[in-house]
Chain A
Amino acid sequence: MKVLVAVKRVIDYNVKIRVKADNSDVDLTNVKMAMNPFCEIAVEEAVRLKERGIASEIVAVTVGPKAAQEQLRTALALGADRAIHIETDDKVESLAAAKLLAKVVEDEQPGLTLLGKQAIDTDNNQTGQMLAALTGQSQGTFASEIHVEDGKLRVTREIDGGLQTLELSLPAVITTDLRLNEPRYAKLPDIMKAKKKTIDSKSPSDLGVETTAQVQVLKVETPAERQGGIKVDSVDELVDKLRNEAKVIS
């Protein structure tokens, strides 16, 4: 079974973001970028499926600027066989990304498509669901465990209040939650080997998808700063303050 895995280049999760002075966006100049953490988990799961003999080929795909090739190289170093880069400098909304990925699904016919549950920049949590809708496939979102057996997919999902297990028909779209696995690090020989693997470049127009934004960002602001409070000298004083001043414990 072929597995398609979508990755996104985002600001590194350790970076403290700055909003631009003109409030047009977050400032991304000279900021460390990395693969979205949830996408790393998706890549790791694809690689594990291959190690278990379930996946025959792993194709990594991204939508983004030229620099996003770095993230594809990372996916290749981690074990993806080849990659597809849909190159655009536009800020692509989830719906347009899902439309582009749907075209790739149509071309590649994967048995399973893996995505992160959300990107840590836009925090949308939409693309996987939209892709499933556009391709008419079943979806297993916020997955913490997946098993493929007898042409069916069994997925355990993180839901409010616990876990839920579903059986999905294949082909399916899965979005990963943190608990699914612990991503490995790429080893130097694998990073070298990844340089020889193919990255196929396409543009949104090659795929016949319009990427114009339907939602306009009018303003981006810094949220109200939280002010530090006081230091207490003892556990007694702490308990007293919580009980009588903050009134958050009884």
Chain B
Amino acid sequence: MSILVIAEHHEGQLAGATAHVVAAAQRIQQAGGGDIDVLVIGDGVQAVAEAAAKLEGVSKVRVADHAVYAHQLAEPTSELILALVDGYTHVLAAASTTGKNVMPRVAARQDVSQLSDIIAVDGTDTFKRPIYAGNAIATVQSQDALKVITVRSTAFEAVGEGNGASVEAVDTVVENTLSAFVGEELATGDRPELGSAKVVISGGRGMGNGENFKLLEGVADKLGAAIGASRAAVDAGFVPNDMQVGQTGKIVAPELYIAVGISGAIQHLAGMKDSKVIVAINKDDEAPIFQVADYGLVADLFEALPELESKL
């Protein structure tokens, strides 16, 4: 009985998240689980399979390379996993938008529950996962024969490379008449994506208006940061809601989070409190954000931001 890891990949490259998911699989293996196989699903993914074979702890890489699996649409991808899942006790994927899209479909068809976004392995059937936007941690035990799991990549240290696992082709081809890929629009330019950025700078209601968010851009450019916003700034109509960091927006955990003109409502803290270093710039020295900030600067942001930009 073995563990199956679904590889995460983008544009023909193995994504870093896969090495973190294999690390989670190793924890299950150490707790009494079996061998770790990696399944690569896509179109034109031989290079991904070769990269996956180098990951430490992997016994075997299985590759399903076919046009029907292009863009890993939920319907064919889940059907393929279902066709291959016999003999496995655990199937794991990163809690990425791909993993979240496909895995519950697999679980439901197998009539098992899914364990979402696990952050720790306590045994082959017991895991920890955040609930209420990370404001509580639940320890859960699954009674299901097959454990379908998505893994929060940042919670597990990536495994190293240097392995030489065998690579075998999977020739199962499923049909897909339900969905078709039309196109995609990937974020370009230098500004990183909010969810994966190493540095995030966010503005709140204190920014006053949408125009003033430009003040954040100068600092963001110097730091290679993504720009976020609090729900208050979104509700006030300053910026669109895809920039929202918080319980009902994106949950981020960058190396450095700079909160500017953000009071620090629970809703916002839930989305960023796992950041390594938090900086708050606010003119109200009573603002709750200062209770979680490693470094707080009580200052008018309209003076502090241009000065910060000039000194970086």
Residues of A within 8 A of B (CB): 11, 13-17, 19, 26, 37-38, 93-95, 98, 120-134, 137-139, 141-142, 144, 154, 157-169, 178-179, 182, 214-223, 226, 228-232, 234-236, 238-239, 241-242, 246, 248-249
**CB closest residue in chain B, given A178:** B241
Contact present for A218 and B116 (CB under 8 Å): no
**CB closest residue in chain B, given A248:** B256
Given A94-B114, A161-B186, A235-B297, residue A214 in contact with residue B242 (CB < 8 A): no
Cα A17 to Cα B132 with chains together (Å)? 8
**CB closest residue in chain B, given A165:** B182
Does B73 have its Cβ within 8 Å of any Cβ on chain A?
yes
Contact present for A235 and B299 (CB under 8 Å): yes
Cα A226 to Cα B307 with chains together (Å)? 28
Q: Which residues of B lie under 8 Å from residue A246 when comparing CB positions?
A: 256, 277, 294-295
Q: Interface majority SS on B: helix, strand, loop or mixed?
A: mixed
Contact present for A223 and B137 (CB under 8 Å): yes
Q: Which residues of B lie under 8 Å from residue A142 when comparing CB positions?
A: 97, 100-101
Contact present for B131 and A122 (CB under 8 Å): yes
A46 CB to closest chain B CB (Å) equals: 19
Q: Which residues of B lie under 8 Å from residue A139 when comparing CB positions?
A: 74-75, 101, 105, 179
Cα A167 to Cα B180 with chains together (Å)? 5
Interface centre among B178, B196, B273 (most CB of A within 10 A): B178
Q: CB within 8 A of A19: which of B117, B134, B136, B299?
A: B136
**What number of A-B contacts does a CB cutoff of 8 Å give?**
254
Cα A219 to Cα B137 with chains together (Å)? 8
Cα A26 to Cα B135 with chains together (Å)? 10
**CB closest residue in chain B, given A123:** B131
**CB closest residue in chain A, given B292:** A226
A185 CB to closest chain B CB (Å) equals: 12
Q: Interface majority SS on A: helix, strand, loop or mixed?
A: mixed
Contact present for B10 and A161 (CB under 8 Å): yes
Contact present for B277 and A166 (CB under 8 Å): no
A34 CB to closest chain B CB (Å) equals: 11
Bits for B136-170, please: 1 = Cβ < 8 Å to A, else 0: 11111111100000000000000000000000000
7 CB-based A-B contacts, threshold 8 Å: A17-B136, A138-B179, A166-B182, A214-B112, A222-B137, A231-B295, A235-B299
Does B279 have its Cβ within 8 Å of any Cβ on chain A?
yes
**CB closest residue in chain B, given A230:** B295
**CB closest residue in chain A, given B96:** A160
Cα A120 to Cα B78 with chains together (Å)? 25
Q: Which residues of B lie under 8 Å from residue A127 when comparing CB positions?
A: 104
Contact present for A162 and B267 (CB under 8 Å): no
Given A216-B143, A239-B311, A248-B277, residue A123 in contact with residue B107 (CB < 8 A): no
